[in-house]
Structure 1
Amino acid sequence: MDKIFVEGMRFYGYHGAYRAENELGQRFNADVVLEMDTRNAASTDELEDTVNYALVYSLAQEIIEGDAVQLVETLANRLADRLLEVFPPVQGVTVKVTKPDPPIHGHYNAVAVEVSRERRRNEH
C-alpha cells in the first residue's frame, strides 16, 4: 500500500490530567501516515483523487486545539477515526501525537502516543 506522510504539525492545546495543563496549555506535535492506493491520483493528477494535505492539517488542528481532554491517547484516536471518516480512499492511518513538555520530572525528549487504524472491510 502507498503511504502519504504529513509530518511535524505543531499545535497548542489545553489537554492533560493536571489543572495547570488545562489552564496554561502546552505544545503538541502530530505526524500522520495515510495508506491508500495512489495510482488513480497519479494517473488523473487531480487533487480530489487523493488526500488534501491542507485538510489533514485542519482536521488535526480542530482536534488538538479543540475541546480539552485528559489523555494524548484520546487525541490520537479521535484524529485517526476522523481521518478515516473524511477520506474514503484511505485504507489505513497511523497517527502519532507528541507532548514535548509534559509535567513530569526527569530528562527526556518527549512523550508520545501512536495509534494505527485500518478501515473495516464493510466501510466505504
Structure 2
Amino acid sequence: MTRDFAGDRITLSDLGFYAYHGVMPEEAVLGQRFHVDLVCGIDLLAAGRTDELSASVSYAEIYEVAKAAFEGRRFKLIEAVAQHVVDRLFEAFGPIQWIQIRVRKPSAPIPMASGEAAIELHRHRDDR
C-alpha cells in the first residue's frame, strides 16, 4: 500500500548528535558524529489560525525526545536507532501522523574520500 506523506509538517534539519552506534567494535568505544533530519506530519491549521502553541507540537520538545532516544541507547544499525526515534516520537506526540527520518553517518568506517552513509525511514502512525 502506498502511503501519503503530504500535508502540513514540522521539520528539524541537520540535527547533530554524538553517539556510539555502529557494528564495528571501535564505534562502541570512540563514538562519532551523526546528523539527523526529521519531518513530522501534523495538521497545523488550528495553530496557524489561533497562534497558540497548544494547537501544535513544540519543535523544541520534538528535539528533546529525539535527542534522548538517539543518545540514550546504543544500536549496531542506524536503521534501528532511526526506528527507535520514530517510536518515541509517536509515543510522545499524538498529533503526529507520519514521520520521515534520515540518519546520516559522515564518518562511517568505509574508505570514502568524502560524503556520508545514510538511511531514511518513512513511517505512518497507523503502520505501527
**TM norm. shorter chain > 0.5:** yes
Equivalence for 2:29: 23
Match of 1:120, SS state, is helix
Alignment of 1:67 onto 2:68: no
Match of 2:126, SS state, is coil
Equivalence for 1:54: 60
Unpaired segments ≥5 residues, structure 2? 1-6
| CA distance in 1 between partners of 2:49 and 2:98 (Å) | 21
How many residue pairs get aligned? The number is 122
1:19-66 deviation digits (Å, cap 9, x = unpaired): 100000000111100111110111221112212111111112112222
Aligned-residue CA RMSD in angstroms?
A: 1.5
C-alpha contact 1:13 1:26 (8 A) present in aligned 2: yes
Q: 1:91 aligns with which of 90, 97, 103?
A: 97
Identity, % of aligned positions: 39
Match of 1:62, SS state, is helix
C-alpha contact 1:12 1:26 (8 A) present in aligned 2: yes
Alignment of 1:103 onto 2:116: no
Alignment of 1:45 onto 2:48: no
Q: 2:17 aligns with which of 8, 11, 14?
A: 11
AA aligned to 1:79 is V
| CA distance in 1 between partners of 2:48 and 2:77 (Å) | 38
C-alpha contact 1:28 1:64 (8 A) present in aligned 2: no
1:75 shift after superposition:
0.9
Moved over 2 A (4+): none
C-alpha contact 1:97 1:112 (8 A) present in aligned 2: yes
Match of 1:81, SS state, is helix
C-alpha contact 2:34 2:106 (8 A) present in aligned 1: yes
1:107 shift after superposition:
2.8
Equivalence for 1:81: 87
